[in-house]
Amino acid sequence: MATLPQLIEEDVQRLEEILRELLAQTDGTTALIIDKGGFLISNFGDSRQFDLTTIAALASGAYMANQTIANLVHETNFNSVYQQGEKHSMFVLSVDDYCMLVVIFRSQLSVGVIKYFSAPAAASIAEQLQVAQQRDPSGGLDLSVLNVADTADFFKRQRGD
């Protein structure tokens, strides 16, 4: 099962820096790093006009569906997906076994530019994740301090329903 390494402040800052640079190079609108299970890990750019949590879940699903199609047509994988729209388009590129890079950009922009700059960005992200992977994992948070067994119900039904 694919698992992500522990990311600390330094990793997150580096990932954001990579995304910032990518958007500056491409004039893209928003860039995201998402887990292949659908979680949003990091994002940069305009986050107000998009629901990034849902985009992460759906982009991951769409990408994974394409991976399955790749297998059906005897391809090892389709490592990228391009969705073309009238106002915005989206490019998804696999980073490693666990993550993907998603770039949302205005449709007037050339996808070639996005693809060209996304490849080294994905390599840098993979490199940083590798650094995180190799770091001593013992610095992790022990969730037992949360003592959640004592908490009340997490999800409450609205009164009067």
Partner 1 sequence: MAIINQATKELQVKIVYYGPAMGGKTTNLVQVHDHVQTAAGNKGKLVSLATSSDRTLFFDFLPIEAMSIKGFKTKFQLYTVPGQVIYNTTRQLVLRGVDGIVFVADSQYDKMTENVESFTNLEENLKTLKLNLQEIPYVLQYNKRDLPNVAPVEYMEFLLNNREVQVPSFTSSAHRCEGVFETLNMITRMLLHKFVSQGTPQYA
- In whole angstroms, what is the distance from residue 32 CA to residue 23 CA? 11
Q: Position of tokens 């950009």?
A: 105
C-beta of 35 vs 127, nearer to partner 1: 35
∠ Cα 18 24 30 (to 5°): 75
Rounded Cα–Cα distance for residues 93 and 61 (Å): 13
Task: Determine, following the binding rule CB under 8 A, whether residue 131 of this chain makes contact with partner 1.
Answer: no
DSSP H or E stretch at residue 102: strand 99-106
Q: Which is nearer to partner 1, 52 or 103 (CB)?
A: 52
- Strand-strand pairing, 88-94 and 80-83: antiparallel
> Using the rule CB under 8 A, is 126 a contact of partner 1?
no
What is the rounded distance in angstroms from the CA atom of residue 95 to the CA atom of residue 122? 5
Examine residue 36 and tell whether it contacts partner 1 (CB under 8 A).
yes
Nearest approach, Cβ of residue 32 and partner 1 (Å): 13
Residue of the chain from 21, 35, 96, 127 that contacts partner 1 (CB under 8 A): 35
Q: In this chain, which of 7, 22, 32, 101 binds partner 1, going by CB under 8 A? A: 7
Contacting residues toward partner 1, per CB under 8 A: 1-9, 11-13, 35-41, 51, 53-54, 57-58, 61, 64-65, 68, 137, 140-149, 151, 153-159, 161
